[in-house]
Structure formats: structure tokens, C-alpha cells
Structure 1
């Protein structure tokens, strides 16, 4: 299976430095254009999975891909609990939250385990397919840990974010 991961397009919260977490979020004008560009870039996929949070679903909808689109709650961003909707800086140091949940929320380790569960099901259902996943930064770190470099999640969450037009993994 070929798994292509793309982050959801830019949101109003991203532009304001807000950590949306489990809140729905809304794409900004720039994000809506990015979503359309994703659709041009990823015409060759067999199936699309996304988080059920609005910003990820909206990204896929605006991409106008012809492949079936399935939503899966296991692809949600980390639940920051009481910190959903605060400034991104308020989440630091993120590495401290790999094994310890945010108050009223999850840990990044929880996201890794949900992503692992998702991968097992997708491999079973779509083993020979090209699968596009549209989700959030925590899922990218989980995929990079599980399928990519294998680097510890503590290192991945502490590293600066560098956007690129998708990450490709062989499963």
C-alpha cells in the first residue's frame, strides 16, 4: 500500500497562532486555495481518509477528488482538553505531553496508538491501493514515527514544522 499524507489546509486559527485541537476550525482564504491545489496534486489516489474535524473534511471537499472520501475519528488532532483553542505557545513544551495527557484531553502517545489502529485497518481493507490521508500535525508525527524515520515522538513534536506538499510512505 502507498500512503500519502497531507495536512489539512491553512485555517483561520493557524493564521492567528491558535491551537485548535478538537475544535472544528475553518479554512482561511489561503487554505481554500491550498485545498484546491491539493486536488490537482492528488488526482491519482484510490481512496481518501480524513479526520472528522471540519477543517480536514473541508480540505477534502474543496479538493474535489473523484476517489471515495471516508472520515475516521482516529485521525483527529490531539485533544488539548482545557487548552483547545489557546495560543500555540501555551502547548509548550509539547514533548512533555507524549506520555502525559493534556488536562481533560489526550497525550501525543494516545494519538500514536489511534493512528496505529487506523493503519492496521487501512492495510487490511486497502492493501494494494494508493491511500490519501488528510489530517493534522499530531497524525503526521505519528506516521513519521510509525512508518517513516522511526524517530521518537518527543523529538518529532519538538522539531519546527516544515510544510511540504505531502509525505509518502510505503506500508
Structure 2
């Protein structure tokens, strides 16, 4: 049975506002981000979601706690939904990380991982979903690497195609069907 997946990125962070590529650093939501997370909760709490899976990085965990805290919807933290580990470049200016991202398609960042490794990590999490959540609607809260993993697994885009494309944020998220 297919699984309906709702995906949203973590809410706006202080690093996002400053143009920083946070990577595996925890990050913190900005004031606007906390308002965005509350809005996500208003939109999604009664959306038929059986469970919420979130990256364990602080900015994603803070998003889910604001959006779904105090509800009966189970919240499951999974490190595989993390952003790409930029290694020594975690916390660097986002423009720098974006500019040479194709150089790290298959080769890891120093002390980090490649985009291919990050996408395969997300793919591993997705392959586990049917064991418990087949036929249900679940939500994933993550990062750009999470989005790329979904697009790779469900829509068949190659890692290089995903890195070459400009990411277009959707304020109300994305919907996928995992067969």
C-alpha cells in the first residue's frame, strides 16, 4: 500500500536570515521561524497525519515541537533526515557552499559527506517507512538534503540533476506518494 508523505523544511532560522549554511550544526529558529512553525501546526494538525518524522538537528526539532507539541500525533526523530554534512564547512556562508556544491556530488566535503551519501541516507529512511506506515499519511520535517532524497527516490532525479537545479521553497510544503 502506498504511503502519502507530506514534506516541509524546518522553519526559518537565524542562520537562514544571515545566509549561513548550517549543515550539521544545530541552528536556532528566528522569531519569524517560530511564527512559521506555529502556522505549520495550524495547517497540518488536522491533516490526517499518522506520525511526524523529523531530523534530530535542533532547528528541525524546534519546528516540530512548536507545530505538533501537545498533540497526540507521534513525533519520531531520525538522524537520517539531517542536512548534508558539510564537515569543516558547516557554518560557512551559504553562497560559498552553493557555488561549488557540484564538486561534492560524489566526493565528501572535508570531514563531512558527499551529497550522494546524504541522499542515500535519506533513501534508507524512506525504505523503512512501509514496515509500519503503509497506507497512511505521514509528515517529514527536514532540510534540503531531505527534499533531494525524496525527489531522488520518488521522482527518479539523479543527484547531479538535483544539485544543478535551483531549489524553490514551497511555503506549504510538498506532497509525495511512496509506492
Q: Give the TM-score band, short-chain normalised.
A: over 0.9
TM-score, with structure 1 as normaliser: 0.95
CA RMSD, aligned part only? 1.1
1:93 and 1:158 in contact (8 A); partners too: no
What's the counterpart of residue 134 of structure 1?
141
What's the counterpart of residue 65 of structure 2?
61
1:50 and 1:71 in contact (8 A); partners too: yes
Aligned positions of 1:59-138 closer than 5 A:
59-64=63-68, 66=71, 67-91=73-97, 92-138=99-145
Tell me the alpha carbon deviations over residues 85-142 of structure 1, each in whole angstroms, 9 at most, x when there is no partner.
0101221221221101000000111111111110111121111111100000111011
Gaps in structure 1 of 5+ consecutive residues: none
Deviation of the 1:161 alpha carbon: 2.3
Matched, 1:48 2:55: no
Gaps in structure 2 of 5+ consecutive residues: none
Q: Kindly report structure 1 stretches of 4+ aligned residues shifted beyond 6 Å.
A: none
Between the aligned partners of 1:155 and 1:37, the Cα distance in structure 2 is 32
What's the counterpart of residue 167 of structure 2?
161
Matched pairs, number: 170
